[in-house]
Amino acid sequence: MLGKLKKVAKNALAVPVIRKTYNGANRAVLELGGSSRLGATIYSIPGFFTQNREQWAVLSGRRAYYKNLGKDRSTHVELRRNVHRLEKGILMQPRRDVFARDYIEETVEFYAKALKRPASVSNLDAGEMQWAHDVLAEYFEIVTGDDASVARSREVFESLPRYGTPASVHPYPQGDLPKTDITYEQILQLAESRRSVRWFQDRPVERELIDKALLVARQSPSACNRLPYEYLVFDDPETVQQVAGIPFGATGYAHQIPTVIVIKGDLSNYFSPRDRHVPYIDASLATMGFIYALETLGLSSSCINWPDFEPLEGRMAKTLRLKPHERVIMLLAVGYAQPDALVAFSKKKSLDNLRTFDRDTVARTPKSSKDGKPAAAGEGSFD
């Protein structure tokens, strides 16, 4: 049904008078809706359901975040966030005698609760727990100031059983980082040789190679080290056809994709709506590293656009049994490229159109005059 509607729309827009009428109507409506916040509010009334889906996802995620605090889980986003905050306090220059007093008790509570996880639940992330233990141990060792909340937290932490074996999973000197022999020229060559490939050999993709590439992907930056995404890998031919056939972006070549990956963001990692865009950012950062790693392993890929389109969102959610707060970021086709298949040239923008230095449109803070009052126009300001 969706395919037929899309075909009708494409045929209609191929008629010049229809296309011009459509574009003119769009411009008129957007002049109203895009001119002010009031206009945007009026415009949002007929588009309520489109906007409401995102609002529901955010609210559902926040609801799930608080419900998850009472559940036994393999990984604990609330603990990850706070431990990472402690790490940033440990590495601060200069470091304060007392820091994290507003959340240290909460962090120890999160850690203690994770330690009490029933033995029957066996998939606890041991690396996460060792990291949490070691960072907390270092925190209590270096915080020397007199503070009641820190003292209470230290007492609770020291009463808990030690987790794992002695380790050093905590901040360390930058100079201890392993040095790489990879040159800029090699990175540039990798970036320039990576192209979006849409035609693949009839050859399965080894799962071990997917996992190898994911080891690179997970090293990408992530806000408060949450890693709020999951890679859903499908390599069963029938399932690949079912999933790859949903997005419009794979039309025409979905039938020969060996492996399709759905990158899913999870809004239940956040208690505040201010972070509603972070899963998209973090997952995209990780996916670029993943794609480059695939290239080094002899695998090609193509990102499949996933527009925020109600019918497709609903169909994908039903197919993958997604919860309201689980959002598809993008899809990725992966396989061994056909050597004689064409790829798009895709000329990139020039650097002059991609960046500016010290952009002169930044609103600058007016300089103060000698009497301490803000400078008058002309005194350090600009037209």
The secondary structure of residue 70, as a DSSP letter, is T
Q: How far apart are CA 257 and CA 374, in angstroms?
A: 63
Q: How far apart are CA 40 and CA 28, in angstroms?
A: 13
pLDDT of residue 378: 40
Task: Please check whether residue 235 is in contact with residue 207, taking contact to mean a CB–CB distance below 8 angstroms.
Answer: yes
- Strand duo 300-304 + 229-234: pairing: unpaired
For residue 40, the one-letter residue type is: A
Task: Return the H-helix or E-strand segment holding 318.
Answer: helix 310-320
Task: Please check whether residue 276 is in contact with residue 258, taking contact to mean a CB–CB distance below 8 angstroms.
Answer: no
DSSP per position, 83-133? HHHHHHHHT-SSPPSS--TTTHHHHHHHHHHHHT--TT-----HHHHHHHH
Global pTM value: 0.87
Q: How far apart are CA 27 and CA 29, in angstroms?
A: 6
- The closest of 169, 178, 81 to 126, measured between CA atoms, is 169
Per-residue pLDDT of the chain (383 residues; tens, 9 = 90+): 667 777 777 777 778 888 888 888 888 888 888 889 998 888 888 877 778 889 999 999 999 999 999 998 889 999 999 999 999 999 999 999 999 999 999 999 999 999 988 766 667 788 999 999 999 999 999 998 889 999 999 999 999 998 888 788 888 898 998 899 999 999 999 999 999 999 999 999 999 999 999 999 999 999 999 999 999 999 999 999 999 999 999 999 999 999 999 999 999 999 999 999 999 999 999 999 999 999 999 999 999 999 888 889 999 999 999 999 999 999 999 999 999 999 999 999 999 999 999 887 777 776 655 555 444 334 444 45
Domain boundaries, the chain: 13-61, 67-163, 191-335
Q: How far apart are CA 220 and CA 285, in angstroms?
A: 6
Which CATH number does 191-335 carry?
Answer: 3.40.109.10
pLDDT of residue 160: 95
Q: Supply angle C-alpha 141, 144, 145, rounded to 5.
A: 145
